[in-house]
Copies of this chain bind each other. A is one copy, B any other.
Amino acid sequence: MAEEDKPESGFVKEIRKQSVDFPGWYNDVVRKAQLADNSPVAGTMIIRPYGYALWENIRDPLDGLIKETGHENWYFPALIPLGFLQKERDHVAGFAPEFQLVTKGGGKDLEEPLVLRPTSETMIATVLRDYIQSYRDLPVLTNQWNNVFRWELRTRFFLRTREFLWQEGHTFHETAVEAEEEVAKMLECYRRIAEEWCAIPVLAGRKSDSEKFAGAQYSTSIEGMMMDGKALQMGTSHYFGENFTRAYDLTFTGRSNEQQYPHSTSWGMSTRMVGAVVMAHGDDSGLQLPPRIAPLQVIIVPIFRSDAERSQIQTALQPVLADLEDLRVKVDWRDERPGFKFNEWELKGVPLRIELGPRDLAKGEATVVRRLNRAKQAVPLGELAVAIPAMLEEIQEALVKRARDFRDAHTVKLDSLEAMVSFFDSSIGFVITPWCGAEEDERTVSQRTTATTRVILAGSSGKGRPCAVCGRLAAVEVVWGKAY
């Protein structure tokens, strides 16, 4: 851990420039804004309180949406017998390379190794066999909040670590139609969390076959554009059809008294969202947090030169703090220069700063500074109760608009492979093309540009035109991007 990261030595704002070294900038911001830090265990990270509070502010509204849509939280064991995982062929093929195995317990070798869950489809299908007998038992709508484990080789804060936190929903339905509605409904919850809370506009749609979840009939995802033009998959929702229920022999007695397999789904959103918020809104000064999820919405920096001034400000702040009590507000009384504090809270992305000194007080005002473009504004003290919540609302909107404008400015529609190659050589962002759907086209594009398909856009605007890659008849429009 670097010396400048110590809490006590305060913030040294030497973060690499976003425009010059985006991955370096990202690492610096995550560590210096104290979201997370390196761990002594390879491939894992320490989530620090500021990062965890941000995660709580994403997790809690998501938990609310999951419950509102009729799902219930369960808890299933983290250790899954290897045999459970081996029943669905595609699933085990996809996940086996990432398994971490428990082979000893209580001082003895285990008869069968236990796998630290990389995801819980296999455990939940096994357990729910005992709960689902008849069509009257369906749907079963489960969710759990937990840690999962995947043996990643190249790791990155929040985006890819050997252990991470998420929720995983698993549902079982009588019909394919209901299951597919569920897949879409939960993707819509993720879209709302991304756009309405995290202020990150997303493209939502199906993944191509080569990008789908191991064991799914199809996967859907929401994808956001980060400030380096790359795509980040921020939440996924999968349709399994009968794949898992057949593999786990999970049947129910249908309305006409026949044994049937339920149609199942799963969907997940993780601590990766914290990384998304960093990369979608941050700038060279550090983090920039959407007010709805910011652990601290308003930082108050008192400015004084004497004890008399200090206590004058303290008195003036009493009614202000009472006015703002529904917000997440803190007064920074530390014995540091105001400029140091301004830098630190900018680095930490606090949406609004209130500066209050003797000159402001003389006028009965406070100086309010937005983190977004540092716009300053004098506000009468008595009006803060109304002005501050309104400004937070407005910043929330401005951030999502800015992110949307950025994405739209970096998204082009192209018709040929050469145009795609030239775009990805010289520009950042997304390319939309007609596509025939052939996996070999994805290989071609990936080899020449490193871009992959992100999502297939709904609707049929690609149909009838030639595929941009191979010239055959296109079936869909697809979004290409370099991805995390």
On A, residues with C-beta under 8 Å from B are: 1, 5-9, 37, 39-41, 44-49, 52-53, 56, 72-81, 84, 96-107, 113-114, 116, 123, 126-127, 130-131, 133-134, 136-137, 142, 146-147, 149, 151, 153, 162-163, 165
- Kindly list chain B residues whose C-beta atoms are within 8 Å of the C-beta of A146: 147
- Kindly list chain B residues whose C-beta atoms are within 8 Å of the C-beta of A162: 79, 105
Cross-chain contact of A78 among B48, B107, B130, B163 (Cβ < 8 A): B163
Cross-chain contact of A151 among B5, B105, B113 (Cβ < 8 A): B105
Given A74-B48, A127-B46, are A163 and B79 also a contact pair (CB < 8 Å)? yes
Q: How far is the CB of A473 from chain B (nearest CB, A)?
A: 42
Query: A116 to B102, alpha carbons, bound, how many Å?
Result: 9
B49–A72 CB distance below 8 A: yes
Query: A137 to B100, alpha carbons, bound, how many Å?
Result: 36
- Kindly list chain B residues whose C-beta atoms are within 8 Å of the C-beta of A113: 104
- Kindly list chain B residues whose C-beta atoms are within 8 Å of the C-beta of A81: 40-41
Q: How far is the CB of A247 from chain B (nearest CB, A)?
A: 15
20 extra interface residue pairs, beta carbon distance < 8 Å, beyond A48-B74, A49-B142: A5-B130, A7-B137, A8-B137, A39-B127, A40-B123, A40-B127, A44-B79, A46-B76, A46-B127, A49-B72, A52-B72, A77-B163, A78-B147, A96-B107, A97-B106, A100-B106, A102-B116, A103-B103, A107-B151, A147-B147
B97–A6 CB distance below 8 A: no
Chain B, Cβ-Cβ closest to A81: B41
Q: How far is the CB of A94 from chain B (nearest CB, A)?
A: 14
- Kindly list chain B residues whose C-beta atoms are within 8 Å of the C-beta of A47: 74-75
Interface of A, helix, strand, loop or mixed by DSSP: mixed
- Kindly list chain B residues whose C-beta atoms are within 8 Å of the C-beta of A84: 40
B77–A39 CB distance below 8 A: yes
Given A105-B151, A106-B151, A134-B8, are A44 and B77 also a contact pair (CB < 8 Å)? yes
Cross-chain contact of A73 among B49, B105, B147, B149 (Cβ < 8 A): B49
Q: How far is the CB of A316 from chain B (nearest CB, A)?
A: 26
- Kindly list chain B residues whose C-beta atoms are within 8 Å of the C-beta of A136: 8
B100–A107 CB distance below 8 A: no
Given A136-B8, A137-B7, are A98 and B106 also a contact pair (CB < 8 Å)? yes
Chain B, Cβ-Cβ closest to A36: B75
Chain B, Cβ-Cβ closest to A140: B7
A105–B114 CB distance below 8 A: no
Query: A40 to B123, alpha carbons, bound, how many Å?
Result: 9
Between-chain CB contacts (< 8 Å), 15 pairs: A5-B130, A8-B134, A9-B133, A37-B130, A39-B76, A40-B84, A41-B81, A41-B123, A49-B74, A52-B73, A79-B149, A99-B107, A100-B104, A101-B103, A104-B113
- The 7 closest A-B CB pairs, nearest first, are A49-B72, A106-B151, A47-B75, A44-B77, A101-B104, A1-B130, A100-B105
Query: A49 to B6, alpha carbons, bound, how many Å?
Result: 42
- Kindly list chain B residues whose C-beta atoms are within 8 Å of the C-beta of A101: 102-105
Name the residue in A1, A6, A73, A105 with the highest tally of chain B Cβ atoms < 10 Å from its Cβ. A105
B126–A40 CB distance below 8 A: yes
Name the residue in A1, A103, A146 with the highest tally of chain B Cβ atoms < 10 Å from its Cβ. A103
B39–A52 CB distance below 8 A: no
